[in-house]
């Protein structure tokens, strides 16, 4: 055991040794613990325990942000050996583990580490965290929470033993105006290297190229002075230059509700009650659920979304899930309704801000080909003095909204055409090509956020007729266009993250963000802004990799798909009206291919959901006479879904009548379905031979 004199020396003198190891004799423990800097950087925290506390501790609980790869981090308690944090040395909570754990999709992980006997003792103990090495992308990680647990799972340390490091108390490292101005110039023009590894090359991009032009993203998401300085050094700048940049960021006059670890736009109850300026900060990690079925009450009961509890409920038992049957009614799936996906929490952890940022800037990826492209030119013109300044849009007319949509649409088209030079049907993918293509998509997403914030493009309360009830929305499909699948990036070692699982998670997460930011609520045109059949099909692709069923998140997507058409337009409007043959249909509830997704739901609850969805779908169909679906002389080509999605799309729901009957749907509803289906089929046959 360490003698008292050695502990005293550690607490007093170790912060000054070598510039890498820091021990703070703080009580309570300051969180987060930021382990940021060069490889070998170590941060320690002392804490006091009684003899009983020390002897009863059997495991250590940690919540860590940016733990990206095996070998990145190690932990040590007192004078014990360093323990590397890897998937085989720790136990990772669900659903984090199913999405890959360390090296997987989620940016923040909850995990447990078993303790050796007598690891803790009465009196002062010291826990140390080390950043072992960079992979060329990482410059450290953050410990957001820690504790020690007894064999029964009881927390040893109390909440009073911790204190949060609050941004409101932060000051610029250098307060003089000259340093702040120097920081701004460095942000805009400093020459950088690619990373902190030996021999790293110079890059053409500056800080402002990959982040927002003025750095407001670092202010908005409250990146600490330490994190900014560490990243500046990572890119070849000095500590002083990092301090100048941090001082510039601290003095930016922007609201700052976010944190680096809270995923932007993470949905959660009550989010719409906050100012629109706080929307991008999201509901926080506390509302990333541990089980998808925890979200069911919020999906079914709007009151829970309007008047949320301070924390999510515990994971439901089979009995509590079965009790939800009483909350299921056809109105839940009403195609003319307005389900607010922004306020329904899910177990899908969205990407953090660091995951929005490009790994390589397009001008370093593609050189002058990018710089001379229309894709680059449109951003340069729109981001400075553009049509987007028809904003803020609250109270504006539809022509101004259309102007913004058109400008962003042209930019999306320019991206497709630009990447089309490098990505073709016969493309052979490699990690290098994936990095360049995916980073180009991320760059557009980041810059879209920049312009959205600069020009106030999110709030639309004064124009609910134009956006059909959505008070806040993005007016583009750029989040969905960021998905690896959108450009055909393949699963496997050449995919994003180097694995099929992470590649599928990346696709699913950006599609999920699209649903939250712009689902086309009653305003879809053809297959934009969301190709619902394709998006829903991706749920099955993700499940194949994760084996983590997500019935509630799927039901949200299906409901938003049903609510994508304009209630004022009938089926004769092929682009914007109700077209059951071109959308996801209720067969998804009874298709054998989707049984695994709904497996967590009790039989009775699934039956009630199936009946309610089919009832809502039929009620909507019956609003229009059959001839409006298939007018004479105007037969259109049917939308052709992928072969593996034709069990849930195409509109021929009546062909699954026996499956619905087996699932518990009543005879009256099935007879209604068959009658409508027969009339539809007869009409189609007459047109075919007209």
Residue 240 DSSP symbol = H
Beta bridge partners of 143: 33, 64
Q: Which residues contact 266 (CB under 8 A, 6 or more apart)?
A: 282, 283, 284, 285, 287, 288, 349, 350
The two structure tokens encoding residue 288: 């990333």
CA 451 to chain CA centroid, nearest Å:
20
Q: Where are the beta strands (DSSP E) in 132-217?
A: 140-149, 162-164, 192-193, 202-203
The two structure tokens encoding residue 463: 């124009």
> Residue 303 burial (CB < 10 Å; 0-12/13-18/19+)?
exposed
Domains of the chain: 4-165 (2.60.120.1200), 169-250 (1.10.760), 271-343 (no CATH)
pLDDT of residue 382: 77
CA distance 439 to 444: 9
pLDDT of residue 401: 78
- Size of the chain, expressed as the number of residues it contains: 690
Residue range 70-119, pLDDT digits in tens:
999 999 999 899 999 999 999 999 999 999 999 999 999 999 999 999 89
- Find out whether 446 and 216 touch, Cβ atoms under 8 Å: no
pLDDT of residue 4: 41
Residue range 354-395, pLDDT digits in tens:
999 999 999 999 999 999 999 999 999 877 766 666 555 545
Peptide bond into 95 cis (omega under 30): yes
CA distance 92 to 75: 16
Tokens 């050996």 found at: 81
pLDDT of residue 396: 55
**List of the chain residues with pLDDT < 70:** 1-26, 308-309, 385-399, 461-469, 632-644, 688-690
pLDDT of residue 390: 54
């Amino acid at each position: 055991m360490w003698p008292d004199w050695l502990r005293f020396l550690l607490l007093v003198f170790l912060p000054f040794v070598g510039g890498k190891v820091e021990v703070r004799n703080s009580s309570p423990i300051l969180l987060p613990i930021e382990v940021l800097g060069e490889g070998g950087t170590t941060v320690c925290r002392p804490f006091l325990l009684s003899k009983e506390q020390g002897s009863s501790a059997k495991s250590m609980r940690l919540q860590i942000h940016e733990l990206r790869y095996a070998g990145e981090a190690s932990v040590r308690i007192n004078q014990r050996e360093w323990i590397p944090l890897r998937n085989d040395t720790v136990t990772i909570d669900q659903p984090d583990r199913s999405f890959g754990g360390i090296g997987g999709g989620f940016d923040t992980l909850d995990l447990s580490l078993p303790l050796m006997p007598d690891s803790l003792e009465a009196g002062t103990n010291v826990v140390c965290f080390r950043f072992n090495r960079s992979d060329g992308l990482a410059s450290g990680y953050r410990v957001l929470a820690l504790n020690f647990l007894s064999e029964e799972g009881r927390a040893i340390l109390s909440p009073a033993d911790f204190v949060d490091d609050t941004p409101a108390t932060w000051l610029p490292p250098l307060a003089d105006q000259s340093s702040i101005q120097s920081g701004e110039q460095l942000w805009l023009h400093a020459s950088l290297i690619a990373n902190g590894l030996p021999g790293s090359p110079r890059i053409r991009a500056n800080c402002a190229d990959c982040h927002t032009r003025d750095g407001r993203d670092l202010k908005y998401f409250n990146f600490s002075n330490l994190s900014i300085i560490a990243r500046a050094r990572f890119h070849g700048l000095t500590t002083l230059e990092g301090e100048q940049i941090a001082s510039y960021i601290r003095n930016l006059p922007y609201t700052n509700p976010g944190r680096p670890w809270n995923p932007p736009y993470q949905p959660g109850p009550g989010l719409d009650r906050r100012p629109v300026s706080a929307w991008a900060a999201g509901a926080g990690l506390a509302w990333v659920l541990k089980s998808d079925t925890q979200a069911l009450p919020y999906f079914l009961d709007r009151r829970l979304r309007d008047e949320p509890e301070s924390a999510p409920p515990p994971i439901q038992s089979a009995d509590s899930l079965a009790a939800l049957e009483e909350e299921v009614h056809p109105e839940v799936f009403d195609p003319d309704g307005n389900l607010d996906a922004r306020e329904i929490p899910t177990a899908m952890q969205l990407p953090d801000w660091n995951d929005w940022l490009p790994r390589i800037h397009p001008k370093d990826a593609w050189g002058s080909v990018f710089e001379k492209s229309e894709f680059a030119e449109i951003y340069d013109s729109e981001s400075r003095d553009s049509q987007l300044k028809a904003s803020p849009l609250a109270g504006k007319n539809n022509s101004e909204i259309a102007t913004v949509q058109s400008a962003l649409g042209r930019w999306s088209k320019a991206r497709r055409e630009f990447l089309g030079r490098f990505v073709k049907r016969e493309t052979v993918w490699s990690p290098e090509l994936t990095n360049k293509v995916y980073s180009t998509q991320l760059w557009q997403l980041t810059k879209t956020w920049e312009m959205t914030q600069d020009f106030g493009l999110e709030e639309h309360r004064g124009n609910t007729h134009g956006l059909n009830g959505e008070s806040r929305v993005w007016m583009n499909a750029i989040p969905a266009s960021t998905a690896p699948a959108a450009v055909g990036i393949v699963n496997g070692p050449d995919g994003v993250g180097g694995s099929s699982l992470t590649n599928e998670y990346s696709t699913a997460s950006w599609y999920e963000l699209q649903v939250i930011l712009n689902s086309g609520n009653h305003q879809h045109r053809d297959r934009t802004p969301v190709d619902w059949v394709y998006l829903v099909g991706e749920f099955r692709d993700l499940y194949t990799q994760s084996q983590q069923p997500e019935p509630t998140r799927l039901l949200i997507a299906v409901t938003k798909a049903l609510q994508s058409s304009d209630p004022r337009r009938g089926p004769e409007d092929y682009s914007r009206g109700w077209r059951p043959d071109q959308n996801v249909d209720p067969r998804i509830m009874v298709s054998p291919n989707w049984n695994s997704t709904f497996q967590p739901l009790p039989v009775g609850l699934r039956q009630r959901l199936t009946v309610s969805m089919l009832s809502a779908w039929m009620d909507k169909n019956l609003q229009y006479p059959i001839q409006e679906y298939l007018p004479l002389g105007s037969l259109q080509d049917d939308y052709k879904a992928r072969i593996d999605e034709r069990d849930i799309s195409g509109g021929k729901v009546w062909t699954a009548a026996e499956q619905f009957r087996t699932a518990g749907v009543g005879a009256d509803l099935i007879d209604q379905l068959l009658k409508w289906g027969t009339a539809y089929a007869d009409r189609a046959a007459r047109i075919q031979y007209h």
